[in-house]
Amino acid sequence: MRLIPDASLRMDMPRTQRCRHQTFTPSIGAFAGLTLICLFVISGCSEGPQGTGPGHREQRLALTPSQELQVGREAYQQILEKAPVVESGPEVDRVRRVSERIAKAVQIEPLQREINLQLDGYEFEWEYNVVQDDQANAFCLPGGKIVVLTGLLQLVKSDDQLAAVIAHEVAHALAHHASERIARERTVGHGLLSLSYNRQQETEADHIGLFLMTFAGYDPDEAVEFWKEMQNAQGGHLHLPEIISDHPSDNRRMQQLQAWVGPAKAAKQALDEGRVLPISRR
């Protein structure tokens, strides 16, 4: 019996505390640090393993599993050394509670199999930290290194909505999107083709993340509700046309998420009822 009815994951298309520092720009620091480390790591190495990626699409990778883990470790260390990390308190407890459930769901073998996640040989050293910053954002670096900004925690209305964002970011790491983007840039460089590729990854992370949060026991309907609220909050602001944006448009994103909610719930129910079993390994 199939885990996901109607092959719903076959994707053709393809976010009283004590702080160490006071100023930090995670959206710039995270990606700049990651890029610099990636350039250093791959400067003298061969390409990583090739094969089919999530949704059974072709995927070229630039980093080996060990290199990908090194990138995540070093980038995370750089970020935490400069960031105003929240050391303790209810926000930290909340992020760790939700993140741990997401990380546990990653281990569900039938879900890995259906999404076609390539995790053999990859190591995830899950870490969860909260950074004091007004931006509503989160990210997960290769190797399972998660950062959630306090601005996001002020925005989400429930653990379900927080899980939607964290699962989306974790999906990028599970799908090796950072390694894939490095390989892509080495081949085609910048431009519209590169931007289109980023949109594919965002859609893929939405899809994987919705199933991941559902299998972690969270309500996928809240993912749709969260993005509706984001669209309303951005009302009146100028949006880039989707053709030159890295992310799917809000309307398209909500339509896709809504279409995936039913299959995700059905798949989780099938697993809970024992109608789907892992493949036995000899």
Give the catalytic positions in this structure. Answer: 169
The Cα–Cα gap between 114 and 121 comes to 18
With the CA atoms of 96, 228, 206 and 195 taken in that order, what torsion angle do they form, in degrees rounded to the nearest 10? Answer: -120
Q: Which residues pair with 131 in a beta bridge?
A: 85, 149
The Cα–Cα gap between 31 and 177 comes to 13
Burial class for 243, CB neighbours closer than 10 Å (0-12, 13-18, 19+): exposed
